[in-house]
Structure formats: C-alpha cells, structure tokens
C-alpha cells in the first residue's frame, strides 16, 4: 500500500516538476507580478521571495517608509488588539554632525545647519547610487555646497570637516545618511506604538538599480534594525498602488500618476489590463518640486 501511494505521489509531482524546469530554463516567473512591475523586468524585481523585491508585506505587518529629499515619513496601520488606527510620522530629511561627533537627524539636524552649515546636509537621496562623474553630482557641485564630494567604492560620498581634528574629514555615503533617517523614523514610530517594528517597505527614487536597492535594503535590515526584513519599491509605483487601492479600475484604463515632492517630481503612466497594472513609461525631474 505504501509503495503504491509513493508511486501515485511521484506521478502527480512529475507535471509540476516539468513546469518548474521549463520556467527555470526560460527564466519565466511562476509567481504573480508585483504591482507595477512590467513583464520582462529583471528577475530580482519579479521574485516575491527576494528581500529587495517589489512585493509588499501583508497589510499591517510592516511599516512604510518614504525617503524624500525634503521630508521623510513612516506610516502604517496599527493592528493591535482593539486598534485599527493609521499613523504617520514625518521629519525633515536632514543629517548633521556636532562638534563632539554626535550624529543628528530631523529637526535637530536642520537647526544645527543654521549654526554649522558645513556639517549638515539635506536632499541627498538624489545622490543614492550615483557616481562622482554623473550629471546629478556635477549639478550638486555647481551649487557650491558647504561640504565636499569624494568617491567610495565607485560611488559618490559626502565629506564633512572633522569636528575636533583639524584637516581631517568624516565621510558618509548617501546610503549611510539614508539609514540614519530610517533608524530615526523607526525609533519614533516604536515610541508612538510602544512596541518593536521588525519589517518595512522603503520607498526609493526611481533611478536606483538593483545594486542601489540592495544597499538600501541591507541598510534597513542590518543597520536600522528591521531584522524580519525590508523591501524597496519605486516612488511612482507606490503612488500608483495607493491610487489603485482606493479606486475601481476598468479594463484598458490608462492613468497618469504625478508625484510632486519638495525638491523632485515624477510622472508615470500605468495601464490596467484585467485588473493588473502595467507600467508604460515614466519621467522625472530631480530639481523640480514644491519647495
């Protein structure tokens, strides 16, 4: 009897194994696409199991973090027993270093910038995953900021004058600075909730490639403390997902999503087919905003 059952189980598994083998051979994803991820996108964007994939966690199980050039926010639904409240906390996207080496963020860093502008920075998310020779960095240099740019591991880094050692500098990558913001947002949300947050979906700029997403996600997991996991999603996809969540979509309906930030803006066209959002095209301007 046991032998017969094993044979039947093996026979039933053969078709499934064949499908998996064919999918692997032709790089076909057998998992559903994440919202806004176009067909033919790189495999790492489609795979829901990847820690930096675009598929979000279940509603209420993770915090959503927006890394902006002007302001950064954290928000989620609080699904504790007897509570289904929505919360959102925001702060200025500033990071600063004091004379004794303490790292400040948010309002404290913005205030410190008025006293010691050479040891404070804002608007650095546009520098994520940029090279020293990229146009974005060259444009930043033309603005004559009170800090200097250098190169670290092939990417741009920011240098502040050392607070106590004359002639020496302190160097941060844009990811380092972003993690400072993520950590502070996490601490504020945990203080508000009275419990630990262990997972997050981080909204990142559209220009980030796989490596850039990977760096932000790793920073969120290992440095900011989201040990259960962190995922990255493009800003314009997050905006379109919010629109899709609150409205009924008809077949072949195209929508234009405009996201206007304090310093950067972007426009994205999506088309809905059979209830599924298909990414069509996107454009952005990293120096156009409401500030």
Is residue 210 classed exposed, middle or buried when 0-12, 13-18 and 19+ CB atoms within 10 A define those classes? Answer: middle
Report yes or no: 199 and 170 within 8 Å, Cβ to Cβ: no
Q: Can you tell me the distance from the alpha carbon of 173 to that of 215, in angstroms, rounded to the nearest whole number? A: 11
pLDDT for position 249 = 60
Residue 42, pLDDT score: 54
Q: Is the dihedral of CA 236, 238, 241, 247 positive or negative?
A: negative
Domains of the chain: residue spans and CATH: 92-177 (3.30.420.40)
- The dihedral through the CA atoms of 189, 126, 288, 281 has a sign that is negative
- Residue 98 to residue 170: CA distance in whole angstroms: 12
CA 23, CA 251: separation in Å to the nearest integer? 28
Q: Determine the pLDDT at residue 64.
A: 87
- Write out the chain's pLDDT in tens, 291 residues: 556 655 555 445 444 444 334 344 444 444 444 444 445 555 544 444 444 444 444 445 578 899 989 999 998 766 655 556 677 899 999 999 998 889 999 999 999 999 988 889 999 999 999 999 999 899 888 887 888 999 998 999 999 887 777 778 889 999 999 999 999 999 998 888 888 888 888 888 878 888 888 899 899 888 888 887 788 887 767 766 666 655 666 666 788 888 787 778 888 887 777 766 677 887 878 777 766
The Cα 192–Cα 229 span in angstroms is 21
Predicted TM-score of the model (pTM): 0.74
């Amino acid at each position: 009897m046991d032998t017969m059952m094993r044979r039947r189980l093996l026979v039933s598994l053969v078709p499934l194994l064949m499908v998996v083998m064919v999918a692997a051979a032709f790089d076909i994803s057998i998992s559903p696409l994440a919202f806004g991820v176009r067909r033919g996108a790189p495999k790492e964007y489609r795979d829901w199991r990847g820690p930096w994939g675009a598929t979000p966690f279940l509603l209420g199980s993770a915090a959503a973090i927006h890394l902006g050039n002007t302001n950064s926010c954290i928000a989620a639904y609080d699904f504790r027993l007897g509570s289904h409240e929505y919360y959102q906390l925001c702060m200025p996207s500033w990071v600063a270093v004091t004379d004794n080496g303490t790292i400040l963020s948010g309002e404290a860093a913005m205030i410190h910038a008025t006293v010691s502008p050479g040891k404070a920075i804002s608007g650095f998310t546009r520098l994520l995953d940029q090279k020293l020779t990229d146009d974005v960095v060259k444009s930043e240099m033309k603005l004559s900021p009170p800090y200097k740019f250098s190169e670290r591991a092939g990417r741009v880094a920011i240098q502040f004058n050392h607070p106590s050692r004359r002639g020496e500098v302190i160097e941060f990558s844009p990811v380092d600075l972003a993690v400072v913001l993520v950590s502070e947002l996490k601490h504020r949300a945990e203080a508000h909730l009275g419990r630990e947050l262990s997972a997050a979906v981080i909204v990142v700029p559209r220009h980030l490639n796989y490596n850039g997403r990977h760096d932000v996600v790793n920073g969120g997991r290992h440095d900011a403390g989201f040990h259960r996991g962190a995922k990255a999603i493009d800003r314009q996809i997050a905006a379109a997902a919010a629109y899709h969540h609150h409205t009924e979509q008809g077949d072949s309906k195209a929508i234009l999503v405009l996201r206007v930030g304090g310093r950067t803006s972007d426009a994205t066209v999506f088309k809905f087919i059979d209830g599924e959002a298909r990414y069509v095209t996107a454009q952005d301007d990293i120096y156009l905003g409401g500030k």
